Amino acid sequence: MKKQRGVALSGLLFWSIVLVLGAVLGMKVLPTFIEYNKILKDAKATVSKMGPDSTVADVRRTFDRFAEIDMLDFPSTQLDVTKDGGRIVIEFAYEKRIPLFWNVSLLIDYKGSTAGS
């Protein structure tokens, strides 16, 4: 007699639950990661558009225009604008709390800078 092969119902249920939980977590985290990438892209575009004699108010105004185009809810007041060797550098840091279930949340710290570009 041949030995039976296949997947047990308990194993199928276990891996189905793991896959569903992983997919739900990914669907909740992915939008915040996309938002972070848009903020970083807008900050880099702002730096490339600004001249070395631009003021902080000019930088914030330009960033707000880019953020409005990308429909971001990220105020330019959270940007740390400095000059490094005559170059404008924009840095930002913020927390994003993602509710998962009941009273369990996922907290992600996002930090970005245009210094590396």
* Stretch 1-17: mean pLDDT: 87
Question: 44-78 pLDDT, tens per residue?
Answer: 999 999 988 899 999 999 999 999 999 999 999 99
Number of domains in the chain: 1
Degrees to nearest 5, angle at CA 26 with 21 and 30: 160
* Residue 22, domain member (yes or no): no
Predicted local confidence at residue 116, as pLDDT: 75
* Residue 12, domain member (yes or no): no
* Residue 5, domain member (yes or no): no
* Residue 21, domain member (yes or no): no
* Residue 1, domain member (yes or no): no
pTM score > 0.75 for this model? yes
* Stretch 16-40: mean pLDDT: 96
* Residue 74, domain member (yes or no): yes
* Residue 14, domain member (yes or no): no
* Residue 26, domain member (yes or no): no
Domain range for 65 is 31-113
Angle between helices 9-49 and 56-69 (to 10 degrees): 140
Place 19 in a pLDDT band, splitting at 50, 70 and 90: very high
Residues 6+ apart with CB under 8 A from 10: none
Predicted local confidence at residue 94, as pLDDT: 96
